[in-house]
Each structure stands twice: as C-alpha cells, then as structure tokens.
Amino acid sequence: MTKYTIRKTDINKALKQADIICKRNGLRLTKLRQDVLSLILKEGGYVKAYDLLDELKKIDPSAKPPTIYRTLDFLLEHGFIHKLQSLNAFIGCSHPQDHKECYFLICNNCQKIEECCSKKINNVIKNTTSKNNFVPDQAVLEIAGTCQQCLN
C-alpha cells in the first residue's frame, strides 16, 4: 500500500516535476497550464471546474469554460491531475511519473481524498479483464465512505 497526500510544501516540487516531464516529452507547459495546475495543487483537495474557473479569472479575467476544460484535458491526459468521476471534480497528482491510474478513498464527511493505489488492486483489475478477454484502457476506482479521522 502506497499512500500519497499532497502537502503545501510539495506544490513547488510537483510543479517542477511537471515542468521536467513536459520538457522530456516535448509538451508545452504554458503559463495557463502552469497557473491551472498550481491552483489545483494549492487547493489540496479536489476542485470543481467552475470553482477553478472563478479562481483563474482572478489571474486572467478573460478565462471562460473552454479555457478551463481544455486545460484540464491537457493535465488529465498527461497524468498531472485526475478526475473524480463520482464527484465531477479534479485533483492534483503528486506522482505523475509513477502510473496512469489512481484509486481513491473519498470521505463523505470531511471531503478529504486519499489515494490508495496498490499493486494488489492493479493485479485484481488485470485478472478481471484478462478473464473477460477485455483489454483495459482506463480503470476508475473510487471508494466513498468515512475516513479514520472522521470516525473519532
């Protein structure tokens, strides 16, 4: 079990890492993309697209829905963020180089998100798909419930 939780101190690290990955892969981490990624990372938890748009407008008043959705698409495509399908929300990824899929624990009480990626989960997905002769492209695993802290 590997736990990842983004800390404020890790934001710059994550931004630098994104920069490196982009350079290595011939991707353009434009100011807009940096700004949006930075806003998402700063948030700490998950963000809704239109809340993010409101934040972005403080930097660039001309920003509009396609501005944010296109940027989110870029960041998603290259693994810098993930989409939480059951919340229609987005969250930064602290380890974009490690893997494509991320699995999440979502606390219904405090809204905190915990990544819960593990090889065991990867394996059970692999076994499930291979038994069905199914070639997986993307796996979404989101477990909602109550986190440790909220249980006390």
Partner DNA sequence: TTAGTTATGTTATAATATAACATTTATTTA
Partner DNA sequence: TAAATAAATGTTATATTATAACATAACTAA
User: Under the rule (CB under 7 A), what is the footprint of DNA?
Assistant: 27-28, 30-33, 48-50, 60, 62-67, 69-71, 73-74, 88
Residue closer to its own copies by CB (options 28, 120) is 120
| H helix runs in 11-64, sequence order | 11-24, 31-43, 49-59
Using left for φ > 0, alpha for ψ between -120 and 50, and beta otherwise, residue 15 falls in alpha
Which positions touch its own copies (CB under 8 A)? Answer: 1, 3, 85-86, 103, 105, 107-108, 114, 116, 118, 120-121, 124-125, 127-129, 131-148, 151
Torsion sign (Cα): 117, 119, 125, 129: positive
Direct distance between the N- and C-terminal alpha carbons of the chain, in angstroms, rounded to an integer: 23
- Report residue 26: phi and psi, to 5°: 65, 30
Residue closer to DNA by CB (options 13, 70) is 70
> What is the closest distance, in whole angstroms, from the C-beta atom of residue 113 to DNA in the complex?
15
Residue closer to DNA by CB (options 62, 133) is 62
